[in-house]
Structure 1
C-alpha cells in the first residue's frame, strides 16, 4: 500500500497535469467561442472557502516545520532525531507543493494569506523559541525541539480535523487525513523520545 506522502506526490502530479491540460485546451479552443472557459473550469474540482483557508494557513505552517527540521543536523548528534527531522521534512515539502498546486487550480495566489494573515495558526513556534533553538546544542536542543514540534504537530492536526469536517475538496480532505495519521504517529514517537 503506498505511503500517505507518495499518494500526495501522485495527487500533486495529477493536479499539475490537469492544470496543463486545462491551459492547453483553453488556449487552443478559440474556434468555439465561450467553450474554452467551460473546458478549463470543468477540470477544477469542487472546493469551498474552508479548503482555500486551510491551504493558505497550512503552507506557512508546514514551511516552519521544514525550517525546524533543517536545524536538527547542525544542533544535535542524536541520530534518531536527525532521522525523524528528515522524515518530517520529506513528508511536508510534497504536501506544500500539492497545496500550492491546488490553490493555483482554484485561481488563488499560493503566496497570499487572504484574509487570514491576522489569524493565529495553532502550534506555530514563536520567534523567541526559534532563537533559543538556534543557540542550543545537544540534549538541551533535542528536548526543546521535540517539545516545540509536538506542539506544532498538534496545531496542524487541529487545523486538518477542521478541514476534514468543513472542507469540500476531495483532494484537500484526503491530504488532511494523511496529515492527521502521519503527525499523530510522529507525536507518539516524539513523546517516547522525551520519555513521556
Structure 2
C-alpha cells in the first residue's frame, strides 16, 4: 500500500501549490491525488481474477473521469481565480492517464470501453446532469468559480462512493488498489475545495 501513501504525500504538495502555503510539501508528480499515475499495467490486471463489480467500476469511472476532464477544460478557459485554474490543470493532467489505464483493463478483460461523450445519459453518483453542465457553461466571473468548485465537490463525493463500493464488492487487486487510492485522496481534496469555496469572492 506504499503507493497510496505516496499519492497522499503528492496531495499535500499540490495543495501547498494551490494555496501558496509553505512547509506542506511532499514527493510526487504534483498531479491531483486520487487521479494520479499508477504503475499497475493492464496486463498485470488481466492476469488477475476479476468480477462484474470490477468491470462496473472501470466502466463507470471512465465516463466519470471524462466529465471531470470536460469540467477542467472549461475552468481553464473561464475560471477567474488561480486556485481554481490550478485545480483544473491538475485534474486534467491526472485523470487522462487513469482513463487510459482503466480502458486498458476493460480491453484486456474483453469488455467494451466507454467512448468520450457516452456519459451524457449516465446517472452515476456525482455526475452532473446536462442541465447542470449547461448552467456552468453560461456562468461567468466569480459565479462561475463558485459553481465549478461546488460541482467538483459533488463530483468527487460521487467518486468516493464508487470507490468504496469497489473495495467492498470487487475482486481484482489492481482495481481495488486504485479504488482505495481514489477514496483516500479525493476525500482530502473535498475538504480542500470546501475551504477554497469559503475563500472565493461571493457571486
Q: Scaled by the length of structure 2, what TM-score is found? A: 0.74
What is the CA-CA distance between 1:97 and the residue it aligns to?
0.9
Which residue of the other structure, out of 52, 58, 61, is the alignment partner of 1:55?
Answer: 58
Residue matched to 1:135: 138
Q: Is the Cα contact below 8 Å between 2:80 and 2:145 reproduced in 1?
A: no
- Correspondence 1:125 to 2:128: yes
Mark the CA change 1:48 to 1:187 in structure 2 (over 3 Å): closer, same or farther: same
Q: Tell me, yes or no, if structure 1 residue 163 matches structure 2 residue 166.
A: yes
1:100 and 2:103 aligned: yes
Q: Aligned equivalents of 2:126 and 2:156: distance in 1?
A: 7
Native 8 Å contact 1:58 1:156 kept in 2: yes
What is the CA RMSD across the aligned residues, in angstroms?
Answer: 2.3
SS of 2:177's equivalent?
Answer: helix
Question: Could you tell me how far apart the structure 2 residues matched to 1:62 and 1:45 are?
Answer: 24
Q: Within 2, Cα distance between the matches of 1:159 and 1:55?
A: 10
Matched residues in 1 for 2:74 and 2:175: separation? 29
2-structure distance, mates of 1:73, 1:105? 34
CA distance in 2, matches of 1:160, 1:62: 13
Q: CA deviation at 1:111?
A: 2.5
1:71–1:134 CA contact under 8 A, matched in 2: yes
For structure 2, which runs of at least 5 residues remain unmatched after alignment? Answer: 8-32
1:37-76 matches, cutoff 5 A: 44-76=47-79
- Deviation for aligned residue 1:170: 0.4
Which aligned segments of 4 or more residues in structure 1 are displaced greater than 6 angstroms? Answer: none
* 8 Å Cα contact 1:44/1:106 also seen in 2: no
CA distance in 2, matches of 1:161, 1:77: 34
Give, in angstroms, the shift of residue 44 of structure 1. 2.4
Quote the Cα distance in structure 1 between the aligned partners of 2:78 and 2:154.
Answer: 20
| 2:81 matched residue in structure 1 | 78
The 3-state SS of whatever aligns with 1:195 is: helix
1:191 aligns with one of 166, 181, 194: 194
Q: Is the 8 Å Cα contact of residues 74 and 137 (structure 2) preserved in structure 1? A: yes
Which is further off, 103-112 or 125-134? 103-112
